Structure formats: C-alpha cells, structure tokens
Amino acid sequence: MIEPVALKDFFITFFSSALIIMAGAAYALLFAWSKIHTNPRIKQCAYLSYIVLVIAVAELTRAANFSGYWLLISFAMVIGYFFAPIGIWHLCVKTHDDRTTITKRGEDR
C-alpha cells in the first residue's frame, strides 16, 4: 500500500494545509482592506500573511514529500496566491467604475 504522507507527518500536513487557507484568506482580505483604507501598515500585514503562506507551503511540500509535478503545482499556487488578490482588485475597480451603471441604479429608484 502506498503511504504518501508518513503517519508522523500527518498533523504537520493537516495544520500546514489549514494554515495555507487561513494565510491566503488573510492576505486577500488585508490586501483589499489596504486598498480601501490607504494605510501602509495594513499592506505590510498583508505581505506578512503572504510570507506565512509561503512558509506553510514549504512545510507542506517537505512533509508530504512533493516532487516532480507536485513541486510545480506548489510553486504555481504560491505565485497565484500572490497575484490573484491584485488582479481581483483591479477587476473590481474596472467593473465598478462605470458611470452608466451608477446612473441606471439612480434612475431605477
């Protein structure tokens, strides 16, 4: 039987996976919050969350013995987590900056 994760590394794998989700969510929320309220400390906290995410991914990669394509997927995930909130923020700004939509909403009332 194939044992992808050693039993001694089960909890490390579990908690590092959970930390990836929590740090990714914190990074996205703090990044958006820093864009709404232009406070550099909030943006620094967002980048700190991203560093925690990178450490958690490195620990998961080590504990789960990733190699080959799994390493490539881990690397792509880390890069994607960094650029996704930035892209989503720009998409939201572009889609909600339309003056005709605001006017139509005002006319409906």
pLDDT, average across residues 28-41: 90
Q: What is the pLDDT of residue 98?
A: 67
If one compares 26 and 96, the residue with the highest pLDDT of the two is 26
- Is pLDDT above 60 for 61? yes
Tokens representing 18 are 């959970």
Q: How much is the pLDDT for 7?
A: 75
Q: Report the C-alpha gap between 80 and 59 in whole angstroms.
A: 18
- Give Cα 7 to chain centroid, integer Å: 28
Q: Is the dihedral of CA 31, 35, 36, 40 positive or negative?
A: positive
Mean pLDDT, residues 23-41: 92
Q: In percent, how much of the chain has pLDDT > 90?
A: 57
Quote the longest CA-to-CA distance of the chain: 66
